[in-house]
Amino acid sequence: MATLPNTLALIGNTPLVFLKGPSDAAGAEIYGKCEFANPGASIKDRAALGIVEDAEARGQIAAGGTFVEGTAGNTGIGLALVANAKGYKTIIVMPETQSREKMDTLRALGAELVLVPAAPYSNPAHFVHTSRRIAEETPNAVWANQFDNIANRKAHITGTAEEIWAQMDGRIDGFTCAAGTGGTIAGVGMGLKAKDETVCIALSDPYGAALYNYYAHGELKAEGSSVAEGIGQGRITANLEGAPIDTQFRISDADGMGWVTRLLAEEGLCLGLSSGINVAGAVLLARHLGPGSRVATILCDTGFRYLSTLYNRGWLEAKGLAVPPWLASA
Ligand code: PMP
């Protein structure tokens, strides 16, 4: 096996693994892209690297500069790691309502944390607007702006989509995943369509998000709610503009958790809930495309990030979600 030239080269080139349970359930071949294998243990390392290198290419940041972002989760982790590897600093703005583990993780990686009270998006004190202001006021700083900076989806056009196409040997009938910023679904969708216009791109939307209704009926309208982190969008972000969505499914947390539990118990994969929702969507897409179809989806992040939630009996009970047998007495 060859060596890699530096730690940033660890981002991407993730394995694509055959998922037996979902494939059997659909009578098809379902494959999961192992994004938990990135250094920051999520899909967002790709977007973080793409955004940082785009700012460098545009001459927006000088040596020792600072990347600022409003995020509570995986993007902050990815940005902190990429910034460290390139000699930049990171300021992460998050609502003070976020979990203690997330604050501890970001501090542990070296990010400067700015906590703000939770506020609606329309309020200038919202964490996203606060992060933009801090970037404007900080010398030699760039606002990562993951929702509307299309360097995010470009990382998936040139990276994730190319890799999936090569790993599937160009024999792929469908792709599905959920949207947070929309960078993954739009970027992979555009990249795969450029190879083969007939690849079916499906959005798997959680409840509480507005995109299912938008693609199905042309109206941004949310119904219900979800506890899934990192996904669930209420507007057409710049990353979602022009996304080639052919069809859409709405997936409940219970169905997503069903696959999270089965993939751990039967296949030894410990994942977060967005991965479970993606796999549930992949089963629906494969059934829609017919017996023997070949479908890829994204395994977005590691379940180790959710020990106090998805893998905690008390939390699951409080949310009305099924408790796996091995946690019933834990
Ligand atoms: N799953 C998780 C756990 C995430 O953190 C994200 C990022 N927001 C996504 C899925 C969705 O990715 P994207 O932002 O590319 O739509």
Phi and psi at residue 274, to the nearest 5°: -65, -35
Q: What are the distances in angstroms from CA 222 to CA 25, 177, 236? A: 29, 18, 13
Quick check: CB of 184 below 6 Å from ligand 1?
yes
Residue nearest to atom 7 of ligand 1 (CA): 230
**Across the beta sheet with 112-116, what order do the strands follow?**
112-116, 89-95, 66-70, 141-143
Whether 83 and 89 have beta carbons less than 8 Å apart is answered as: yes
Residue 180's nearest CA partner among 300, 30, 85 is: 300
pLDDT tens per residue, range 84-135: 999 999 999 998 887 788 889 999 999 999 999 989 888 999 999 999 999 9
Structural domains in the chain plus CATH codes: 7-42+160-323 (3.40.50.1100), 44-143 (3.40.50.1100)
Backbone angles phi, psi at 108, to 5 degrees: -60, -30
Give the Cα separation of 244 and 247 in Å (integer): 9
Is 89 known to be catalytic? no
* Predicted pLDDT at 301: 96
Question: What's residue 73's pLDDT?
Answer: 87
Query: Which residues are 176's β-sheet partners?
Result: 202, 297
Residue-level pLDDT at 273: 97
- Indicate which residue's Cα is closest to atom 12 of ligand 1: 180
Query: 159: Cβ below 6 Å to ligand 1?
Result: no
Residue 72: pLDDT above 80?
no
Question: Residues 20, 33, 44, 154: which is the catalytic one?
Answer: 44
The C-alpha atoms of residue 90 and residue 224 are separated, in whole angstroms, by 35
Residue ID of nearest Cα to ligand 1 atom 4:
230
pLDDT tens sequence across 27-64? 999 999 999 999 999 999 999 999 999 999 999 999 99
pTM of the model: 0.97
**Looking at residue 201, what is its pLDDT?**
99
Ligand 1 atom at minimal distance to the Cα of residue 300: 1
Q: At what angle do helices 253-267 and 273-289 cross, to 10 degrees?
A: 90
Specify the ligand 1 atom closest to the Cα of 274: 1
